[in-house]
């Protein structure tokens, strides 16, 4: 990706502003966070994570959807500090790359809070 294009994405991100996190009820009666991101924020996260994380194979029966528990075999890591600085609503979340999709994960429950696919 060219520096100009990346810079344009960053400017678009700042112009768009931060989108507050929404709360949705979880199946167990608790509250499961759901992170809402702009298209520019999703693109920045996807490009960063897809280049730095190991692409995990999806375990049998696992479907990457918001609220789904992340199986034990999937490697989950920390989000880069740069991403957290640019997109504050990702603070405290973890990340995994599964079948080419970036999953943002709530660390406590290990539930998926956002699924980001490559934009073509």
* Residues 5-29, mean pLDDT to the nearest whole number: 41
66 vs 13, which has greater pLDDT? 66
Residue % of the chain over a pLDDT of 70:
72
The whole-model pTM stands at: 0.72
Residue 51: which domain range? 3-116
State how many domains the chain has.
1
Residue 4 confidence (pLDDT): 43
The partner residues of 102 in beta bridges, in order of sequence, read 97, 116
Residue 101 confidence (pLDDT): 96
**Class of residue 49 by CB neighbours under 10 A (exposed 0-12, middle 13-18, buried 19+):** buried
Residue 6 confidence (pLDDT): 46
Residue 2 confidence (pLDDT): 54
Residue 20 confidence (pLDDT): 36
Residue 40 confidence (pLDDT): 95
Whole-number Å distance between alpha carbons of 50 and 102: 7
CATH number where 88 lies: 3.10.450
Residue 120 confidence (pLDDT): 63
């Amino acid at each position: 990706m060219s520096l100009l294009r990346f810079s344009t994405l960053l400017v678009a991100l700042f112009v768009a502003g931060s989108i507050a996190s929404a709360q949705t009820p979880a199946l167990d009666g608790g509250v499961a966070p759901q992170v809402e991101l702009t298209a520019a924020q999703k693109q920045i996260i996807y490009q960063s994570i897809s280049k730095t994380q190991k692409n995990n194979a999806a375990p049998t029966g696992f479907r990457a959807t918001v609220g789904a528990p992340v199986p034990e075999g999937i490697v989950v890591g920390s989000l880069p500090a740069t991403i957290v600085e640019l997109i504050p609503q990702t603070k405290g979340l973890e990340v995994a790359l599964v079948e080419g999709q970036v999953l943002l994960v709530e660390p406590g429950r290990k539930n998926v809070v956002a699924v980001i696919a490559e934009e073509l």
